[in-house]
């Protein structure tokens, strides 16, 4: 990154009010190079710059990234402003796993989270209700994260384990007592009825992709991933055709695209956005107007959660990306190492503001020194205040 890019990130450039148009939808034709997808408007702005080179190489990618960060300011550079807006609100933290808490690596079984990241998430979860929502199976997710003070939602939110709360009776059919867990926990599995078909599909996919070198099928319980990160470019089309061939006999399923991965999912109206709302409901936060969800994620499926936060009108949708991307997120972080820094700052901020709360009790209401005083109501609506909704 150039010095000017770093400076822009540190400053947390102000976002303009332009809206983004991408919708996360089932795909019919897959566009493969998803990790490098560029916002079309940026592409058009910078398309003529690709040939411009400096003694240090081409400048176009930095320029495109800087313009994008201007639209999606760094959550680190904007941290103080964000926290000022969060004062007096109940912050609930939602984290994606792959590409957010762990770096993207070739082997999905080795996408480990660092000890530092684990400690940071543990610390955040001490101060805020915290959930990890991932495309992974819930068991695998828990195996990676290894924390007992967070909530887990696997299979893109189709497998949620939460403590019993004020449950919506309409959802009762989707609840199962969590046998292996605490008695007070329930499992929410809205795609339960698809399990036998999902297992059939997994077996067929394993068989049919066996001869495509580098292809790998991962069982995520309520969805199946077909990885192509290690598949040769020239073999991709045949892999995609094979996956689609299997799906022809399963009209209740559809295909979506993640980072070098095709994902087979049951066609129910349930995604990470619904999972976020469900978890807020179950924790008893549904009707509170002072709840501020903060969601950090890097992939297409996280866009559903960003959209929900935008429609609530309050919260921080943060995308992790080192390249410009069309997104509904308002803020950005460059990579998992910035996620780590952000989480540490978040926990420290709450720790420090908790101590100033105790001071308020000692000093008595209204007697706090100015520097410790809470923000005014004007500061309590981050998205609105920034013109982001």
Ligand X SMILES: O=P(O)(O)OC[C@H]1O[C@H](O[C@H]2O[C@H](CO)[C@@H](O)[C@H](O)[C@H]2O)[C@H](O)[C@@H](O)[C@@H]1O
Q: Provide the binding-site residues for ligand X, judged by CB under 6 A.
A: 96-99, 104-106, 108, 111, 134-136, 218, 220, 225, 227, 229, 258-261, 263, 299, 301
Contact 330, 383 (CB under 8 A): yes
Contact 306, 321 (CB under 8 A): no
Residue 42 has φ and ψ, to the nearest 5°, of -70, -40
Distance CA 127, CA 148 (A): 14
- H/E element, 293: strand 291-297
**Closer residue to ligand X in complex, CB, 158/291:** 158
**Closer residue to ligand X in complex, CB, 315/336:** 336
**Closer residue to ligand X in complex, CB, 88/214:** 214
Contact 208, 245 (CB under 8 A): yes
CB of 272 to ligand X, least distance (A): 7
Contact 374, 87 (CB under 8 A): yes
CB of 113 to ligand X, least distance (A): 11
> Which tokens belong to 262?
């095709």
**Closer residue to ligand X in complex, CB, 42/264:** 264
By Cβ distance, which residue is nearest to ligand X? 135
CB of 155 to ligand X, least distance (A): 9
Residue 59 has φ and ψ, to the nearest 5°, of -105, -5
**Closer residue to ligand X in complex, CB, 111/380:** 111
Distance CA 234, CA 237 (A): 7
CB of 276 to ligand X, least distance (A): 13
> Which tokens belong to 205?
């996919």
Q: Between vectors from CA 354 to CA 119 and to CA 318, what angle results, nearest 5°?
A: 55
CB of 192 to ligand X, least distance (A): 19
**Closer residue to ligand X in complex, CB, 89/136:** 136
Contact 383, 315 (CB under 8 A): yes
**Closer residue to ligand X in complex, CB, 295/316:** 295
3-class secondary structure per residue, 55-76: CCEECHHHHHHHHHHHHCCECC
CB of 240 to ligand X, least distance (A): 15
CB of 110 to ligand X, least distance (A): 8
Residues facing 329 on adjacent strands: none
CA 225 to chain centre: 18
């Amino acid at each position: 990154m150039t010095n000017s890019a770093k400076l822009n990130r540190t400053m947390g450039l102000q976002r303009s009010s332009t809206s983004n148009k991408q919708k996360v939808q089932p795909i019919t034709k897959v566009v493969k190079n998803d990790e490098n997808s560029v916002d079309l408007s940026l592409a058009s702005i910078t398309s003529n710059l690709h040939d411009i080179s400096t003694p240090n190489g081409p400048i176009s990618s930095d320029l495109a990234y800087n313009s994008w960060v201007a639209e999606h300011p760094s959550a680190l550079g904007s941290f103080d402003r964000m926290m000022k807006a969060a004062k007096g609100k109940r912050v609930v933290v939602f984290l994606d796993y792959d590409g957010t808490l762990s770096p993207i690596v070739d082997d999905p079984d080795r996408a480990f989270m660092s000890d530092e990241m684990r400690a940071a998430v543990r610390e955040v979860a001490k101060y805020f209700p915290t959930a990890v929502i991932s495309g992974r199976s819930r068991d695998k997710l828990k195996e990676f994260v290894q924390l007992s003070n967070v909530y887990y939602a696997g299979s893109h939110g189709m497998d949620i384990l939460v403590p019993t709360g004020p449950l919506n009776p309409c959802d009762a059919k989707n609840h199962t007592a969590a046998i292996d867990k605490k008695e007070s926990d329930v499992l929410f599995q809205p795609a339960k009825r698809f399990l036998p078909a999902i297992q059939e599909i997994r077996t067929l996919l394993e068989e049919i992709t066996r001869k495509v070198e580098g292809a790998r099928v991962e069982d995520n319980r309520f969805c199946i991933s077909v990885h192509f990160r290690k598949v040769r470019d020239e073999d991709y089309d045949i892999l995609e055709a094979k996956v689609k061939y299997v799906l022809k006999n399963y009209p209740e399923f559809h295909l979506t695209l993640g980072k070098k991965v095709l994902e087979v999912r049951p066609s129910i109206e349930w995604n990470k956005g619904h999972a976020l709302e469900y978890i807020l409901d179950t924790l008893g936060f549904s009707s509170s107007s002072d709840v501020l969800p903060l969601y950090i994620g890097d992939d297409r499926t996280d866009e559903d959660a960003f959209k929900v936060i935008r429609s609530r009108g309050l919260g921080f949708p943060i995308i992790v990306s080192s390249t410009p991307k069309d997104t509904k997120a308002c803020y950005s972080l460059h990579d998992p190492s910035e996620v780590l820094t952000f989480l540490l700052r978040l926990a420290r901020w709450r720790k420090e503001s908790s101590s100033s709360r105790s001071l308020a009790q000692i000093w008595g209401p209204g007697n706090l020194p100015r520097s410790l005083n809470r923000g005014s109501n004007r500061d309590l609506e981050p998205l609105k205040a920034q013109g982001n909704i």
